[in-house]
Amino acid sequence: MKKKHTFRIDSIGTPTVKSPLKLGHEKGDKIFNFINKSNKYVFDLSFEAYQHCLKTKEEPQFLEKAGPRERIFFNPKKTKAAIVTCGGLCPGINNVIRSIVMGLYYFYGVKDIIGIPYGYEGLNPEMGHNFIPLVPDRVKDIHQFGGTILGSSRGGQEPSVMVKTLIQNNIDILFTIGGDGTLKGAAAIADEIKARGAKISVVGVPKTIDNDIDIIDKSFGFETAFDIASPILRDAHNEATGAYNGISIVKLMGRDSGFIAASAALAMPVVNFVLIPEMKFNLYGETGFLEILKKRLNRQHHAVILVAEGAGQHLFEEKHVVKDASGNIQHQDIGAFLKDRIKEYFTDIPVTIKYIDPSYIVRSAAANSSDSVFCSKLAYHAIHGAMAGKTKFVVGKVNGKYVYLPIPEVTKKRKKVNLEGEFWFSVLQSTGQPFII
């Protein structure tokens, strides 16, 4: 049985305003219907969970369906919304910004929309950043570019200072686009708002290129990341095969989870070894990575190694832990480390080693078509939830359905690649590497 979660979504008040959306109420009228309280999805779809509920008479856990409500909390003509982007760059941020602005402006008639510059820094007046007015003409083409037009930063600010800024500027809704640290900051902002008795909705759109947000199926930008990595791996393979005993080492993002590296290896099946943070591999010994690599070279005379940035950190000497402004541990460069160890190990046979780190190119790319569609849907569902007065929630896909989730539930832990799961088994089948190194 999966562990129990708390999926109740907080609200800042009772929705009493009639939605301006002209939607239907019943099936068969060929008009999309409003979402009502009975529209929910079962969280755990396993047969085991089904049997458990039958046996114990317990009600299964439900997720609240995302979408437009007939009654909303905010009067659109008097509503002011703000958007902030935090953390590292990720394909699709501008798509989300664009869709939030367009959706608020054209769906609900919210005309007062501002951008908070440079992450949560923009909510601290001492930093001296000015708000950015956002209108359709300003954002209509930004989806064609990577990065974020609002700028970003790492690290939080004092919640009391940020909430004071929101209140002083009459902001009713704050859309936060970011990963684990950003979402925890959003939850802290929502708690401070509640403590002050203010009526401000705080919404999270989960952004992490590593796809490590818990519970949700995937985060935006993830598909683009391994899509862009595919031709890089192809070229790395060309480099490796172009030399006798050629070795290409490619490092991709993945601080704590190896989803990008594993997915890229499946998308471009020229990779021979995938090393991810979830696995603790040995370098030396008969079953160690270096000896297995030697056997590979003796057979095929080339190898492509794909490594996630957080892999192999156990191989480094223990040093003082350094963290970035977001509280993330700054990892040692596993790619350069492997290059040096391989060079030292192969003294009896000649090898040619190329080390490629395209991480920042991947991060700053524009979203592909699939992610563009995904970003738009996330943004629209975020708008609907916010206008209904829901707060301290994120929008995401779970079991293929768009739902609302409490921020604290998705930030309890990072999602990891299951080494006993079918996904990782597919990677092992593709690469041919041993199950355990």
pLDDT in single tens digits along all 437 residues of the chain: 456 788 999 999 999 999 999 999 888 888 999 999 889 999 999 999 999 999 999 999 999 999 999 999 999 999 999 999 999 999 999 999 999 999 999 999 999 999 999 999 999 999 999 999 999 999 999 999 999 999 999 888 999 999 999 999 999 999 999 999 999 999 999 999 999 999 999 999 999 999 999 999 999 999 999 999 999 999 999 999 999 999 999 999 999 999 999 999 999 999 999 999 999 999 999 999 999 999 999 999 999 999 999 999 999 977 656 666 556 667 899 999 999 999 999 998 999 999 999 999 999 999 999 999 999 999 999 999 999 999 999 999 999 999 999 999 999 999 999 999 999 999 999 999 998 77
Q: Per the annotation, does 88 bind a ligand?
A: yes
- Determine the 3-state secondary structure of 395 from DSSP: strand
What confidence score (pLDDT) does residue 6 get? 87
Q: Per the annotation, does 179 bind a ligand?
A: yes
Q: Per the annotation, does 341 bind a ligand?
A: no
Which residue type does 67 have?
A: G
Q: Per the annotation, does 394 bind a ligand?
A: no
The single residue of 44, 112, 172, 210 carrying the catalytic annotation is 210
Q: Per the annotation, does 270 bind a ligand?
A: no
C-beta separation of 89 from 95 below 8 A: no
Q: What is the pLDDT of residues 357-387, one digit of tens each?
A: 999 999 999 999 999 999 999 999 999 999 9
What confidence score (pLDDT) does residue 60 get? 94
- Determine the 3-state secondary structure of 226 from DSSP: helix
Domains located in the chain, CATH noted: 10-219+367-410 (3.40.50.450), 222-363 (3.40.50.460)
C-beta separation of 201 from 83 below 8 A: no
Per the annotation, the verdict on 210 as an active-site residue is yes
Convert 97-117 to b/e letters by CB count within 10 Å (16 or more is b).
bbbbbbbbbebbebebbbbbb
Q: Per the annotation, does 254 bind a ligand?
A: yes
Q: How far apart are CA 68 and CA 41, in angstroms?
A: 16
* CA distances for 279 relative to 222, 345, 370, 420, 424, angstroms: 21, 22, 30, 11, 11
Q: What is the pLDDT of residues 9-40, one digit of tens each?
A: 999 999 999 999 999 988 888 899 999 988 99
pTM: 0.94
Q: Per the annotation, does 208 bind a ligand?
A: yes
Q: Per the annotation, does 48 bind a ligand?
A: no
